[in-house]
Structure 1
Amino acid sequence: MDGTEEDYTEQFNQLNWQFCTGKVGSMNVQKIVAAIETAAKRNGIVREDLYREMHSLYHATMEAISGVTRGQTQLGEILRTVGLRFAVVRGTPYRNAEEGEWIAVALYGTIGAPIKGLEHETIGLGINHI
């Protein structure tokens, strides 16, 4: 990846967008969702008391997980584990601000059997309107 987090911070600040990053590893989809939701709430990307924000984040997260798992959102039940880095971005991607805010969740890392060396790279992206 070209650039540093400081470069992205500067670009996102210029666009008036918000973002946060984090890491999660698990055999449990619920723990992945919880880690992403917790990071987004702690960093002020979404507000827990606003249903539409949490709902949008949930759908973007599940879409990204679906990409990581190639449509089969099971992990531990079928002996798969993931080690992922994630980013959550919230902003107004269209020239016309009336198009509203959108939220994106990007996941990148490894997936495979819970045995070191039997994993491969994976990536997923989910985008949803707020």
Structure 2
Amino acid sequence: MSQKIAIGKIAVLLATLTEDEMEAFSRSLQDIKYCQGKVGSMNMQKVIAAVETAAKRHGLIHESQYRETHALYHAIIEGIEGVTRGQTAIGEISRTVGLRFAIVRGTPYTNEEEGEWIAVAFYGTIGAPIKGLEHETIGLGINHI
């Protein structure tokens, strides 16, 4: 049997930790497939593209496997729904986001037949496109590959 990994919890932690906090935490991630990134935009497509690009560059998904790209896309959209409180719009309604994100790929079930899953977590700010008028936000999406 494969080892159970709490991919959502790990993704949320990775998205929320500062660089200093990450130094101490990174030692416990030796066997975990993950990557982190940042994105700020009023354009939802830029947020999606930043996460997809990071996942491909770090080998978390295989570009030639449609099911992997598709699973990642659904995890991204689910995470964005949390960030935007269910209204998946940013610039169209005059708001902007500044987000850190983390992507984690792993096996959240001990039964190997359940296969691999992918989690995308976002943490940062959302609000009016005026510095200082934003507030914290967080979102998590998980999908099977």
1:62 corresponds, among 77, 82, 107, to 77
- Kindly report which structure 2 residues correspond to 1:58-97, keeping only aligned pairs within 5 A, or say none: 58-97=73-112
Distance 1:93 1:60 in 2: 15
Aligned residue number for residue 22 of structure 2: 4
Deviation at 1:12, TM superposition (A): 3.4
Distance 2:23 2:71 in 1: 25
The letter of the residue matching 2:51 is I
Deviation at 1:99, TM superposition (A): 1.3
Distance 2:25 2:136 in 1: 25
TM-score of the superposed pair, with normalisation by structure 1? 0.92
The letter of the residue matching 1:55 is H
Relative CO higher for 1 or 2, CA cutoff 8 Å, sep ≥ 6? Answer: 2
The letter of the residue matching 2:75 is A
Q: How many residues align?
A: 127
1:35 corresponds, among 42, 46, 50, to 50
Deviation at 1:98, TM superposition (A): 1.7
Deviation at 1:6, TM superposition (A): 5.9
Q: Which moved more, 1:94-103 or 1:83-92?
A: 94-103
Distance 2:30 2:68 in 1: 20
Aligned residue number for residue 13 of structure 1: 30
Deviation at 1:97, TM superposition (A): 1.8
Asked if 1:109 corresponds to 2:124, the answer is yes
How much identity, in percent, do the aligned residues show?
69
Gaps of 5+ in 1: none
The letter of the residue matching 1:11 is S
Gaps of 5+ in 2: 1-16
Deviation at 1:7, TM superposition (A): 2.9
SS at match of 1:67: helix
Deviation at 1:5, TM superposition (A): 4.6
> Could you list the per-position Cα deviations for residues 48-96 of structure 1 after superposition, in whole angstroms to 9, with x for gaps in the alignment?
1100000000000000000000000111111000000000000012112
The letter of the residue matching 1:13 is Q
Distance 1:73 1:44 in 2: 27
